Amino acid sequence: MDFKCLSASGLKLIAVITMTIDHIGAALLPQYLFLRMIGRLAFPIYCYMIVNGLFHTKNCGKYILRLFTFALISEVFFDLAFYGEVINKEHQNVFFTLGIGLTVIAVIEKLRIKYGIYSIFVSTADIIILAAGCATAYFLRTDYSFYGVLMIYGFYSFRFNAVVSSVFQIFINCIILRGVQGFAVFSLIPIWLYNGEKGRNAGWVKWLFYVYYPIHLLVIFVLKKILFY
């Protein structure tokens, strides 16, 4: 029996749903910790799909630009939903993290293709590029900070070994971040079930997260104003 039953569209829908649950818990119902536990599944799935997207996109430059464009569009809604401010410099939305992570692995992949994965130059460049991406996420105070970039790199670098990839994600989420973030390891279950297919309605699902992200944050902000102010 083939247990790999989830397409890319299915994975993205799981990520969207669990992300929404997480944000409801964070902004509206912080007393219900189980909402945040469920929400921990979203980010690792997005990290995994970023890596998947790198190898399926027709134009990586446009992919990166799209992520950063929606990062800028979403930032005001993110700050309003979680901080009640139009601009908050202490915490930037997850699109920035995903964009930085994709940029890191895209540059590394180009170098590996050109010079070979086992060259000393590429190995050194890997470390420098990854460190630069992590530092950027840290100083910009993006969601998940440099840990998010490391998660993306882990899915990319260990993509041919599911066991090592899973151990890396468990280490980051359970040993380093710990606490509620440890529940993120359950995201590995749907990831293991990914069958490599785009799935039905791949076109509109592709854009669902981009458009849905700022819209659902705006809805959360409005609900927060109605319920608590």
- The whole-angstrom separation of Cα 65 and Cα 106 is 13
112-135: average pLDDT: 92
User: Region 87-100: what's the mean pLDDT?
Assistant: 96
Is the pLDDT at 170 greater than 60, yes or no? yes
Phi, psi of 142 (to 5 degrees): -75, 160
Q: What is the mean pLDDT of the chain?
A: 94
Question: Residue 96 pLDDT more than 60?
Answer: yes
* pLDDT beyond 90 at 1: no
Q: Is 78 a domain residue?
A: yes
pLDDT by residue (tens digit) across 36-47? Answer: 999 999 999 999
Query: Quick one: which of 15, 13, 17, 37 has its CA closest to 26?
Result: 37
Is residue 99, in this structure, part of any structural domain at all?
A: yes
For residue 17, is it within any domain?
no
Domain contains 171: yes
Domain that holds residue 117: 49-183+201-228
Among residues 18, 22, 42, the alpha carbon closest in space to that of 32 is found at 22
Per-residue pLDDT averaged across 23-28, rounded? 97
Is 3 among the domain residues?
A: no
Instruction: For residue 61, tell me if it sits in a domain.
Output: yes
pTM: 0.95
Comparison of pLDDT for 23 and 119, the residue scoring more: 23
Mean per-residue pLDDT, 215-227 = 95
> What is the band of 119 on the pLDDT scale with cuts at 50, 70, 90?
confident
pLDDT at 2: 61
For residue 65, count other CB atoms closer than 10 A to its CB. Answer: 12
Residues 6 or more apart in contact with residue 212 via CB below 8 angstroms: 16
Q: Is residue 34 part of a domain?
A: no
Percent of the chain with pLDDT over 70: 97
Residue range 83-102: mean pLDDT, rounded? 96
Mean pLDDT of 13-31: 96
Q: How many structural domains are present in the chain?
A: 1
60 belongs to a structural domain: yes
Q: Each residue of 181-219: pLDDT tens digit?
A: 999 999 999 999 999 888 776 667 778 889 999 999 999
